[in-house]
Amino acid sequence: MGKKLDGKKIAEKYREDIKILINNKLNLGYNPPCLANILVGNDGGSVYYVNNQNKLCEKLGIKVKSIHLEENVSQAELLEIIEKLNEDVEVQGIILQLPLPKHINEDYVTEKISYEKDIDGLSTISTGKFYKGEKCFIPCTPKGIIELIKSSNIELEGKNAVVIGRSNIVGKPIAQLLLNENATVTICHSKTKDLKKICNKADILVAAIGKPGFVTADYVKENAVVIDVGTTMIDGKIQGDVIYNEVIEKAAFVTPVPGGVGAMTTTMLLKNLCEGLK
């Protein structure tokens, strides 16, 4: 039987570092850091994530401007809010919760977030710098995954890593970060043939597709490390892409949902906020 990769426990170590960083800045006369988060609609996973952000900010002494908009808000209204936050000198970081409703052009809107405040690395400038290896805000969920793995003393160099999902938010950037750690990476998606066969060769398996219970033990190599990024709300409960109780019997390590990647994601977001670009 494998072990739980406890994101909550590991995140606590990083949160202590954040507290120290904030206190040091306060002692130097700086104002408390301030996060602005924008949520459009009521997607279960997004609401869960934003609520966790707000609770953690309160705990760490970070100010929050939390903006919750109706599903039918116009793109023009959303852009106006982003522009005001860009100009707000109190706000150090802006996060726009994705996905957005279909009537809003996600790519166009995220481009309007100021690069200096784009702490989730959504804009083209941020993305370009990320893939070129230049200094930038690293996307929070992928960053959290890598920190979670490395904090557990799991070797990545030379390992076969398979990522299920090719989103710009998780799939593609986590593949790049795994490459940066010298893993050999395969990205799988809805058109991939022999998916189960490919997954069975993975030393590191990352599931980021938003399909609850998709990954069963049949997909997992013996003693693999399985990272579950799924956060789908079903009957008021968050469920992951991996059937945890089944996969833990075969894998060496598995992240639970909740309590795995999500805890690290929120922490990395606030770490980006407090460190800022220098």
Judge whether 165 is annotated as a binding position: yes
User: What sign for the dihedral angle of Cα 98, 103, 108, 111?
Assistant: negative
Judge whether 213 is annotated as a binding position: no
Beta pairing, strands 253-254 & 93-96: unpaired
Distance, CA of 183 to CA of 151 (rounded, Å): 17
Tell me the sheet residues that pair with 93: 35
Q: What angle do CA 192, 197, 199 make, to 5 degrees?
A: 80
φ/ψ of 127, rounded to 5, equals: -65, -45
Distance, CA of 24 to CA of 268 (rounded, Å): 19
- Give every CB contact of residue 27 below 8 A, 6+ residues apart in sequence: none
Judge whether 123 is annotated as a binding position: no
205: left (phi over 0), alpha (psi -120 to 50) or beta: beta
Binding site for NADP(+): what residues are annotated? 165-167, 231
Residues that constitute the known binding site: 165-167, 231
